[in-house]
């Protein structure tokens, strides 16, 4: 399965919950997560999309750790069956 398919399903599931799943890029900082998830009532999280079985690169792990230090939720999604649980976690935080 391609990363693009997982990412498209994540975007659709987020929209189904009334949220936005914005493509996140930063010209001044490499390694930022792929998606910024914004759900109703001010809930947000960052998601790095990966093909099944793939892992974040070392720089992405550094960014993940920094976001966690700042108190943000960060997820790595590489399977379709993870989407609902990740959105639940963002929505209940």
pLDDT digits (tens, 9 = 90+) for 46-92: 999 999 999 999 999 999 999 999 999 999 999 999 999 999 999 99
Q: How far apart are CA 93 and CA 48, in angstroms?
A: 18
Give the separation between CA 44 and CA 37, rounded to whole angstroms.
Answer: 5
Domain of 53?
Answer: 2-91
Q: How far is Cα 54 from Cα 51, in angstroms, rounded to an integer?
A: 6
What six digits make up the tokens of 78?
């590489």
Number of domains present in the structure of the chain: 1
pLDDT band of residue 93 (cuts 50, 70, 90) is confident
> Burial level of 10, CB count in 10 A (0-12/13-18/19+)?
buried
pTM of structure: 0.92
Q: Which residue, 72, 91, 23, 88, is CA-closest to 64?
A: 72
Q: What is the CATH number of the domain that holds 10?
A: 3.40.1350.10
């Amino acid at each position: 399965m391609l990363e693009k398919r997982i990412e498209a399903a994540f975007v659709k599931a987020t929209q189904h919950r009334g949220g936005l799943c914005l493509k996140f890029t930063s010209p001044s900082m490499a390694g930022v997560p792929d998606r910024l998830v914004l759900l109703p009532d001010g809930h947000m999280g960052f998601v790095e999309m990966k093909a099944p079985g793939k892992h974040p690169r070392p720089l992405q792990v550094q960014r993940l750790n920094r976001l966690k230090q700042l108190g943000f939720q960060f997820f790595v999604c590489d399977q379709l069956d993870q989407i609902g649980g990740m959105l639940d976690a963002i929505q209940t935080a």
